[in-house]
Amino acid sequence: MSNKTWFITGTSTGLGRLMTERLLARGDKVIATLRKPGALDDLLAQYRGQLHVLLLDVTDATAIRRVVQQAFDHGERIDVLVSNAGYGLFGAAEEVNDAQIERQIATNLTGSIQLIRAALPHLRQQGGGRIVQISSEGGQIAWPNFSLYHATKWGIEGFIESVAQEVAPFGIDFLIAEPGPTATNFASGLDIAPLMACYENTPAGEVRRGLADGSIAINGDAVKTVAAIIAATDSKKPPFRLALGSKAYYSISEALHGRLQELEAGRNIALSVDKDG
C-alpha cells in the first residue's frame, strides 16, 4: 500500500534513514526530522516533491509542537507518525551521571511522549491515523549496563498502553516495534559512562566483554527490520507489539514466561489481601 504521507523523527542514520529511503522509493511522501541539517540532502535532490525535511531536537517540547504543526500544515494529512529518535546510555546505574540520565530520559521518553501528545489533536481532527513507536526488546527485558535505556523503553511502552485505550474511539492506533540487536549505528552512538573497576567481575562486566569481543551476537538485519515494520504498518490491523529478530522473540518470550510463573507462584498471597466479603 503506497501513496501515504509519513512523519518520521530521527532520520539522519539507522532505521529512520532506511525507512525514509524505502518509503520514498515506493512513492510515498515523507516529512523527515533530524537534529543537524545536511544528512538527507542526497534524498532531497533525488525525491523533490516527495521529501520534506524539518529540523527538530526532541528534547525541546516547544520545538516539537511547532514542528508537528508545520508538518501537518505541509502534509495536510499525515497517515503514519513514526517516533524513532533515540539512543542508548551505557553504564551501570552507579556509573552514569546526572546529566547523562536527564538527556537519556529527555530524548527517549519525554521526547516520545511530547511528540505523541502534539500529534494527537491533529490526528483526531483528520479522523484518525497510526503511530509507530520504535522501542526495543529492551522495552520488555533488561540487560546490565542499560538500566536508564530500559527505563525509557519500558516507560514509553507503558505510556502507549494507556494512550492507545484513550484514543481508539478516534480511529488512532499504535504499533510498538521491538527490534533485538540489529546491525545499525546504535552501538557507535552509545553514550558510555566512565567504567568503574569494581564492576569488572559482575554481570555488567560480562556484558561489556561480550559486546567488545563479539560473543553477544548482533544478528538483526536492519533492511529486513525496516521492511517488516513498514509491512505491519501497512496492514489493516497491525499487531500492537511486534518483536523483530530471533533474539528479540526468544528473549521476550523467556522473560514473559518467567514473569507469569512468578505471578502464579504468588497467587494465594495476592488474593489474600482483598477486603473480607
Residues designated catalytic = 135, 149, 153
Mapped onto helix, strand or coil, the DSSP state of residue 128 is coil
Burial of 105 (0-12, 13-18, 19+ CB in 10 A): middle
Each residue's pLDDT tens digit, 201-246: 999 999 988 888 877 777 889 999 999 999 999 999 999 999 999 9
Confidence at 75, pLDDT banded by 50, 70, 90: confident
Whether 88 contacts 186, CB under 8 Å: yes
- pLDDT at position 1: 45
Q: Which residue has cell 534513514?
A: 17
**What is the per-residue pLDDT across 127-176, written as a single tens digit (0 to 9) for each?**
999 999 999 999 999 999 999 999 999 999 999 999 999 999 999 999 99
Rounded alpha-carbon distances, angstroms, from residue 241 to 102, 157, 176, 264 = 27, 9, 5, 24
Which domains does the chain show, CATH number per domain? 5-272 (3.40.50.720)
Tell me the whole-structure pTM to 2 decimals. Answer: 0.94
Q: Tell whether the model's pLDDT for residue 186 goes beyond 80.
A: no
Residue 53 to residue 39: CA distance in whole angstroms:
10
Using N-to-C axis directions, what is the helix angle for 111-125 and 147-167, rounded to 10°?
A: 20
